Structures are given as structure tokens and as C-alpha cells.
Amino acid sequence: MPKTKEYEKTGVISLEEPESVQAEMHRLIRTRLEYASIDSELKIINITSSTANEAKTTTACNLAVVLANKLSRVLLIDLDLRNPSCHRAFKVKNELGITDMLVDYAHNGDELDKNKYLNQFKHPNIVNELYLLTAGTQVINTTEIIGSNKMKDLLKLLKQYFDMIIIDSAPSGVVVDGIITSTLSDGTIFVLESNRTKIDVAQKAVNQLRNFKINLLGVVLTKTKYKARNYNGYSYYYYYRDKKASNTSKSLGKDK
């Protein structure tokens, strides 16, 4: 018998433990997205929050994995150019990424060789195709780069090749990068860290997103204590605005 290829363990729980409660919570988010996309095209989804460390990257990576088990081709883009970390979660190198692809696109337009930048991530627990586009070469002018017309065009081009694109972005409360990535997306998921994110800070970030007419799909509450008897430790809890009012969704206000 030939030796089976051994895969290095990643930091993405939905990949390593597809039966975990965390993986199940991300499948629930996937289901909500499916329902949300019945009437409107939701192909580019941005994940943001008000501050750092609220689990945006964790949510983006896990969501991309569970989506790739349902949709044919999914792309995860690391657009947190100030603090890129998707490559760390998947334990891949951050060599050529979106910043490099953008320069290439600016010179060569649609003729660029996309495969140079898109890394297919293969794993026994990924049924379909998951591609990673890491952040790439570090840049100083992150806001200008993310907000450039070329970035908008590049995303439009990439959209043609994937069923869904998940963007892991910067926080929206401290810098504008997370707001710009939201404007580039069809919908935004706002991450809130349980027992940490201050409600006024979150409210301010959400209001700012609304000022930019962002399609706010809902909120994912992270790092909550899961109370089910069979599970210990931390997990995710989520809700969407179309669910029955909860205290938190009320305090964030309702979209029209």
C-alpha cells in the first residue's frame, strides 16, 4: 500500500474537526447566507468588525472551508493588508498575493496569469475547490490600494471564476480599510466578540457601514461560552437580523 499523503494540521477547526460545534456553527452561517442570497446576488462577502482580535480571520477561514464543501469553487482573499493572517491559519506561505496580483493586473489587465496567485488548498476534508489569495507583498498605502479602481475591477474579474468569494478584512472602527472592503462586496458580516466588544464602539462601526450604504447581512457573535451539556469551552453563537429580536440585535438597531 502506498503511504497516504500526510497533511499538516492547520489552525482552521472546521477543516480539522468537521464534526465540532464550531464547524456546525459555520455551517449554520452558510445556510443563512444561502437564504439571504435567494433574491439578491451575494457572491463577495466581507467579514469585518469594529476592532482587532474579534475573530474575523477565524470566521472568514472557517466559513470559506464549509462553503467549499457545498459550492464548487470558493475563494478566500486576505484583504487585511495591515495584519495579514489567513496564510498563518492555513499554514501556507504568503508569497505572491493580492497586492502582487493587483500590480500584474494594472499592467496586463485580463491577460494576467491568475494561477500564479491563486493557491488551491487541498485537504481530505475539502470536498470541492477552495482557493486562497493571500495578502502578498507588504505595502504601506493599504487604503489607497484597497480603494483603487483597479481593485474593484480585479474583484469583478475574479467574481466570474468563483461561486463565492470571502474577504477577510481589517476592522472598520479604527481604519477605513474594512469599510472600503465592505463597499467592494455584495454583503458584509459584522463580527462581535462576546463580553469584549463595547456596544458603543460596535454601534459606531455599524453606523459608519450604514453611512456607506453597506449591505449588512448580519452579526456573528464570537467566543461565547457554549452552554450545551456535551460541549465545553468556547464556540460561536450567531444571529441574523431576520431572526426574532434579541437584546443584542436590538441594541445594534435594525436595517430598513
- Fill in the per-residue mask, 84 to 123: x = in contact with Mg ion (CB under 5 A), - = not in contact: -x--------------------------------------
CB atoms within 10 A of CB 79: 30
Residue closer to Mg ion, measured from CB, 97 or 104: 97
Q: Which is nearer to ligand ADP, 168 or 186 (CB)?
A: 168
Is 54 a binder of ligand ADP (CB under 6 A)? yes
Site string for ligand ADP, 5-44 (x = CB under 6 A): ----------------------------------------
- Build a one-symbol-per-residue string for 56-95: x at contacts with ligand ADP by CB under 6 A, - elsewhere: xxx--------------------------x----------
Question: Which of these ranges, 2-10, 35-43, 62-70, 81-89, lies near Mg ion under the rule CB under 5 A?
Answer: 81-89
Q: Are strands 119-120 and 129-133 parallel, antiparallel or unpaired?
A: antiparallel
To ligand ADP, the closest distance from the beta carbon of 193 in angstroms equals 8
Count of CB atoms situated within 10 Å of the CB of 193: 19
Alpha helices in the chain (DSSP H): 13-16, 21-36, 56-68, 86-90, 98-108, 142-146, 149-159, 177-183, 199-211, 247-251
Beta carbon nearer to Mg ion, 56 or 223: 56
Least distance between ligand ADP and beta carbon 29 (Å): 13
Cell readout for 166 is 470571502
- Interaction mask 187-226, ligand ADP, x per CB under 6 A: -----------------------------------xx---
Smallest CA-to-CA distance from 43 within 168, 165, 214 is with 165
The grid coordinates listed for 202 are 460596535
Residues in the chain: 256
Q: What's the sign of the alpha-carbon dihedral 71, 95, 151, 46?
A: positive
Q: How many residues bind ligand ADP (CB under 6 A)?
A: 14
For ligand ADP, the binding residue among 20, 24, 37, 53 (CB under 6 A) is: 53
Q: Considering only CA atoms, which of 207, 169, 201 is closest in space to residue 185?
A: 169
Q: Which of 14, 49, 134, 185 binds ligand ADP (CB under 6 A)?
A: 49
How many angstroms separate the CA atoms of 187 and 98, rounded? 20
What whole-number distance in Å separates Cα of residue 44 and Cα of residue 156?
9
> Which residue's CB atom is positioned nearest to Mg ion?
57
Smallest distance, ligand ADP to C-beta of residue 95, A: 21
256's grid cell: 430598513
Instruction: Identify the residue whose cell numbers are 474537526.
Output: 17
| Residue 55 beta carbon to ligand ADP: minimum distance, rounded to whole angstroms | 4
Contact 210, 255 (CB under 8 A): yes
Q: Which stretch binds ligand ADP (CB under 6 A): 37-45, 104-112, 232-240, 247-255?
A: 232-240
**Sites of contact with ligand ADP (CB under 6 A):** 49, 52-58, 85, 222-223, 234-236
